[in-house]
Structure 1
Amino acid sequence: MLKTILSISGKPGLYRLLSSGKNTLIVESLQTKKRIPVLPKDRVVSLGDISMFTDGEDIALSEVLTRLHEKQAGVAVSEELLKDSDALRNSFGEVIPNFDRERVYTSDIKKLYTWYNILIEAGITDFADQDEAE
């Protein structure tokens, strides 16, 4: 599922890939449902390609989101937590106890939690990729 969810540099929020042409992607905002073209000059990253640094092997974002979903019991992360950097790092430590505290910045955790909230609001709760499931 996360392979079709995109983050576009310079544009807020997350986008669902609808179709791709020769030089353009057509995406839909998960929040506003507005469709826009994405040109080759835009930097696009699939959430399925992202992983988090740990003290051992890196963990795929799908696994991190699944663990966060279990910790939160399917509820969005509170806005108050997103404002407190120490509480944010402590909360993430409960989700991924062995995350690399030097290479994972508070801004990365905040972005992850914001993405999680967007996915929950859009009704996306299955974070496993099809390749992982097989």
Structure 2
Amino acid sequence: MSLDKIVSISGKPGLYHLRAQTRSGFIAESLTDGKKIPVGLRHNVSVLSEISIYTLDGEVPLRDVFAKIAEKENGEKAISHKVAKDELEAYFFDVLPNFDEDRVYASDMKKVIQWYNLLQANDLLETAEAPAEPAKADEEE
């Protein structure tokens, strides 16, 4: 499964997997508890594949940030998103040393770490990273 089918819905906790399209929106299944909900036009939906993190050099796609966290943690769970702000910033500096401190807030860091842990718990990280790896191999050839 790629990050193209994983969304964050404003006002709803956690992440959701797009399951089916309806006339007025779509049906999403929670990765947390498996409940299915209808999502209409009034909801603000963000697709994870479209989200990037600001750095001093530009923007880094969320997929690459997840890959760096997975590399740092050897594919295991990351730190809790509930730790202190200073600890979050130190962790993020280890993962993404040149992130833009002025435009990436502590709440953004919490979301990224919470999302990583949720995807890791559902075994969705390896399949999310798979499309990025062959592209790198093609560039080297």
- Normalised to the residue count of structure 1, the TM-score between the two structures is 0.92
Instruction: Give matches, 1:16-27, under 5 Å.
Output: 16-27=17-28
Query: Which structure carries more relative contact order (alpha carbon 8 Å, separation 6+)?
Result: 1
> How many residues in Structure 1 have an aligned counterpart in Structure 2?
133
Q: Give the 4+ runs in structure 1 shifted more than 2 A.
A: 126-134
Query: One-letter code of the match for 1:55?
Result: L
Shift of 1:105: 0.6
Pick closer, same or farther for the CA change 1:6–1:93 going to 2, 3 Å: same
Does residue 1:83 correspond to 2:99, yes or no?
no
Does residue 1:123 correspond to 2:126, yes or no?
no
Q: 1:78 and 1:54 mapped to 2: Cα distance?
A: 21
Could you tell me whether the CA contact under 8 Å between 1:14 and 1:115 is conserved in 2? yes
Helix, strand or coil: the match of 1:76?
Answer: coil
Q: 1:100 and 1:124 mapped to 2: Cα distance?
A: 27
Query: One-letter code of the match for 1:91?
Result: Y
Q: CA RMSD in A?
A: 1.7
Q: 1:53 and 1:59 mapped to 2: Cα distance?
A: 7
Query: One-letter code of the match for 1:69?
Result: A
Could you tell me whether the CA contact under 8 Å between 2:28 and 2:39 is conserved in 1? yes
> Residue in 1 aligned with 2:30?
29
Query: One-letter code of the match for 1:46?
Result: V
Query: One-letter code of the match for 1:128?
Result: E
> Residue in 2 aligned with 1:4?
5
Helix, strand or coil: the match of 2:55?
Answer: coil
Pick closer, same or farther for the CA change 1:129–1:60 going to 2, 3 Å: farther
Q: Which moved more, 1:49-58 or 1:18-27?
A: 18-27
Could you tell me whether the CA contact under 8 Å between 1:48 and 1:129 is conserved in 2? no
- Normalised to the residue count of structure 2, the TM-score between the two structures is 0.87
